[in-house]
């Protein structure tokens, strides 16, 4: 997957003028992978998916990605918030307990 977010180390600026204007990182970069505290994970029922991509648009962590004919999740970065399941009008995404 070529557009997969990658972990990027954050170097604290030394002077106030070194702070960025706007976000600290360019889009597509995350500061850490899931630390194992997620209690639920999304599961897609592909037959129900209408390819509206609302889950893709609303995911705050950008962990939903488009694949041919459906969507998928990047569980390295998914925090288990359930927003994708909440905005899915077709109810194609459900949240299930995370297996330990």
Alpha-carbon span 61 to 87, nearest angstrom: 15
Q: Residues 14-60: pLDDT tens digits?
A: 887 877 666 555 555 556 677 678 899 999 998 999 999 999 999 98
Q: Residues 50-94: pLDDT tens digits?
A: 999 999 999 988 888 888 778 899 888 888 999 999 999 999 999
In SS3 terms, 34-56 reads as CCCCCCEEEEECCCCCCCCCHHH
Domains and their CATH numbers in the chain: 6-97 (3.30.70.20)
- Would you call 96 helix, strand, or coil by DSSP? strand
């Amino acid at each position: 997957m070529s557009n997969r977010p990658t972990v990027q180390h954050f170097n604290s600026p030394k002077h106030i003028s070194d702070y960025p204007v706007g976000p600290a990182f360019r889009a597509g970069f995350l500061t850490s992978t899931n630390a194992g505290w997620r209690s639920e994970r999304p599961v897609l029922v592909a037959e129900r998916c209408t390819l509206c991509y609302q889950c893709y648009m609303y995911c705050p962590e950008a962990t939903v990605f488009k694949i041919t004919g459906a969507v998928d999740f990047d569980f390295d970065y998914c925090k288990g918030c359930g927003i994708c399941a909440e905005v899915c009008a077709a109810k194609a995404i459900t949240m299930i307990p995370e297996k330990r």
